[in-house]
Amino acid sequence: MMNRHLVQRLGFILLGVISLIVVLPILFVVGNIVVQGLGAINWEFLTAMPRHGMKEGGIFPAIVGTLLLVLGTAVVAIPVGIGGAIYLAEYARDTLWTRLLRLAIINLAGVPSVVYGLFGLGLFVLFLQFGTSVLAGSLTLAIMTLPVIISTAEEALRAVPGEFRLVSASLGGTRWQGIRHIVLPQALPGIITGVILGLLRAAGETAPILFTAAAFYLPRIPRSLLEPTMALPYHLYVISTQVPGMPPRVQYGTALVLLTIVLSMNAVAAIIRSYFRRRREW
């Protein structure tokens, strides 16, 4: 008897240590960036143009650029992604074709982001002649984001009990009416979570915008969608590796701003999830 309790206790300790190993690096990274970057954050840093070879001034255009790219990505990826998920979950029959489609989506989610960057360069920048621009960058990020949105949204739709569809049909609802009035509202929290996770990835990626949207140094807000823009991840890469003599304070400050944007999106997703989970009625 004692022996079994001892084994259980040892097991708990082991699992606790493993959890700690998982959590520690995250805490360390975030803590390090906060501690070293907090000193750089002030009103000027957030709202001014960069000066003196980006060593002074602010990172305003990079912040705006990242928000613009995320917005552009959302405008393209949300309707297409949710539409695709509805097709796959609600309409598509289980055929060879839809299986291939699902396989393709799963594989797309695993493609390295730099490959999306090259694809965007080839298709949007050169072939469609959008140039290095917010438009080309948004489209590239949207394509990268789509698999995430489609697969999470499809899963959320499938999680809605089939009986609801049956009840709706038995009350004279068409298939679309059932989806529109019952299934979609129930799946919404899951879909929103997927969308935010997808956009979060878009906000943080450097490689896809490297060749398609990002400007090395452009101290103003883009005037049209066909202009390039500065963006936080790329700006961070530039000031960390391409500019000698950059004060670490600025580097950490930039990292902190990017981290804050991404983590707050994550927090919004979590809040939405828990809010809807409490309201769910099945």
Partner 1 sequence: MVNPLHVSRFTFHVLRFTFHFSRFTFHVSRTVEPKIRFQNVSYYYGDRPALRDVTLDIPPNAITVVFGPAGGGKTTLLRLINRLNDEVEGTRMTGRVLLDGQDVYAPGVDVPRLRRRVGMVFALPLPLPGTVRENVLYGPKLAGVRDRARLEEILERSLRLAALWDEVKDRLDDPASRLSGGQQQRLCIARSLALEPEVLLLDEPTSGLDPISTGKVEEALQQLKHQYTIVIVPHSVQQAARVADYAAFFLMGELVECQPGRDLFTTPRDRRTEDYITGRFG
Please give the residue ranges that form the binding site for partner 1 (CB under 8 A). Answer: 93-94, 163-164, 166-174, 177, 181-182, 185-186, 280-282
Q: Of the two residues 185 and 247, which places its CB atom closer to partner 1 in the complex? A: 185
Q: Of the two residues 47 and 174, which places its CB atom closer to partner 1 in the complex? A: 174
Return the residue matching tokens 């569809």: 165
Q: CA of 92: how far to CAs of 120, 178, 190, 214, in Å?
A: 29, 16, 20, 38
Q: Of the two residues 12 and 91, which places its CB atom closer to partner 1 in the complex? A: 91
Q: Of the two residues 39 and 185, which places its CB atom closer to partner 1 in the complex? A: 185
* Residues counted in the chain: 282
Closest C-alpha among 177, 157, 159, 158 to residue 167? 177
Question: Least distance in Å: CB of 181 to partner 1?
Answer: 7
Contact status, residue 152 vs residue 197, Cβ threshold 8 Å? yes
Sign of the alpha-carbon dihedral angle for 241, 116, 113, 251: positive
Return the residue matching tokens 């990242």: 66
DSSP 131: -
Q: Of the two residues 216 and 275, which places its CB atom closer to partner 1 in the complex? A: 275
Contact status, residue 96 vs residue 120, Cβ threshold 8 Å? no
Question: Least distance in Å: CB of 84 to partner 1?
Answer: 21
Question: Least distance in Å: CB of 280 to partner 1?
Answer: 8
Residue 159's SS3 state is helix
Question: Least distance in Å: CB of 161 to partner 1?
Answer: 8
Question: Least distance in Å: CB of 152 to partner 1?
Answer: 21
